[in-house]
Structure 1
Amino acid sequence: MITCANCGEGNPPDTEFCGRCGTFLNWRAEEPAPVAAAAAAPGAEQPAVQQPTDERVLRAPAPVTTPPRPLLPGDLICGNCGAGNEPTRRFCRRCGNSLADAETVRQSWWRRLFSWLFGRRRRAKRQLGVRPRARGGRPWRTAARVVSRLFLVLVAFAGILYAAVPPFRSGVNTEARTFKSWVTRQFSNKLVPARPTKVTATAAVPDHAAGLAADNARNTFWAVPPTPEPVLVLSFDKPVDVRQAIVRSGNAADFSSTHRPAKLHLVYTTGHTFDVNLADTPDPQTVTIGESAGTTSIEIHIVALHRSEKGNTVAISEIELFEPEK
């Protein structure tokens, strides 16, 4: 270690100029060679006594060639001699030139990425008389910074894939349209009819077939013996998401002549089910339907009845289904 006589900075042994103040480090004093005292001859004249002097002659040493130092990532490249210097130096280690405008050796892209993701932030210089804060204690900040930067990297990578890979772009567009449609269905207040393309039932009495429960006519009805459990099946040509239904129970012309449904158990092709309770009234009832998203048919099981004193069949005049507008 060479200590600078000007500023006291410590410098590596192979350094010619101080990294802090730029002072040349290899100046040394010229010491006069010692002369052996000769024996004085008898009768010889003695030399006059010389007074000591404080002045010493200084001379520059022979040029010393600093061994070349390999350039490392982050080094400052001297614009005068091209030597590499540590990032902490202010003056070139070889020629003493100022490094204020020196270029920096760039790191490889993966090193820069790793440093950006996991490197610690440089602390601001502390003013004199200000006590430093205790280190540590907030690891969540480091974790949050790493997570946010990883997220940015993933977003950038996904953007490159989206621009460069057509199949990936097509898949993303499809998923985006599906998500938009789902959001629209979740928050849309406008409902439109979901009309079945086929209506069947486990049974029906003559002249009161299953299709009459979904023909949009109030003076017709589907009628079926109450046992075994009656089932009406509504089929669609595409997946539906029924949210609401309007149900008219019994025979509109003679309400008390038939049993009326008290509870409906809905079964979807998706495996989900939903129960609906009905009041015993001739008026249309608006009920909420759930869990039906994606179904292509709905089985309507009549599991409880409002019984008639004179009837022997259960009847449904009309069922209208509604789903969000697409």
Structure 2
Amino acid sequence: MRQLVLKVDVDTYRGTLIGVPRLVDLFRRHGADATFLFSLGPDHTGRAIKRVFRPGFLSKVSRTSVLAHYGLKTLLYGTLLPGPDIGRRCADVLRGVRDAGFETGIHCWDHIAWQDGVRGAEMAWTERQVLLAGERYAEIFKTAATVHGAAGWQMNAHALRLTQQQGFSHSSDCRGSRPFIPVWNAEVVNCPQLPTTLPTLDELIGVDGVDEGTVHESLLALTRQAPVTGHVFTLHAELEGIKLAPVLEKLLLGWRQQGYTLVSLRALRARLNPNTLPRHEVLWGTVPGRSGELLVQGPEFLVAVAD
């Protein structure tokens, strides 16, 4: 059976309030399952202005119309405007996703703080961010989260260990090609990683003549052949849940025509035996169309056996 996972990263207050309910309606109309990963603390999107000095960031902004997709108010949160507390103000929206039958999990506490700060952060800072998100999730849903998907595919050694220590059934914190058990500097972390395998729409739009009218064709061309373990596609409530919803609808129809069942991360995880998953190193790398480095699936980790 061909499976394609729909993983929804929810980064902002606007995306939660507007994009998430629209995605729930769209998925239900198309009989698609999905996993929603929530930012649970303050929306400080405006603080992303610091990324202007990152190589490739300005070109990405110009390609993907950040102002049009995120709105002016969102781009001022955390600077000229106070950042709204997403988890507190949108708790009913989050519970509505669960009540509609979709898997829910943790994206982060503060999206900008995590994405821009976790790589070099110490244990205390990392643990506080993870615990804040976990406590808010439990407050909203009255149960612990079972899945984690890192903001911006950014992690550190402490964060990876915490996916195991916090008892997550599975995580999706990196880019890669197939499910695996992560290894960081020869340390095995026993929490299966289900990496994003496909490029995101904002990585494709504006490159090689691809625009919003043709981007679905580029992505469908990449999914004609299905890997044994399926694909994981990451979308964003701020994009596919609002202005890019027509593109997403074309993708859903196209994937159905290609024979895919559209599922959640937990459905993919249910098919896996962690004891037989390959172990792969996790490394820092780059992805075409995205600025900066992010966590990627490295080579298979093979332990040499002495004669």
Report TM bin, short chain. under 0.3
With normalisation by structure 1, the TM-score equals 0.18
Tell me which protein shows more helix as a share of its residues: 2
Which has the greater radius of gyration?
A: 1
Task: Tell me which of the two structures has the higher relative contact order, counting C-alpha pairs closer than 8 angstroms and 6 or more residues apart.
Answer: 2
Question: Given the two structures, how large is their TM-score scaled by the length of structure 2?
Answer: 0.19
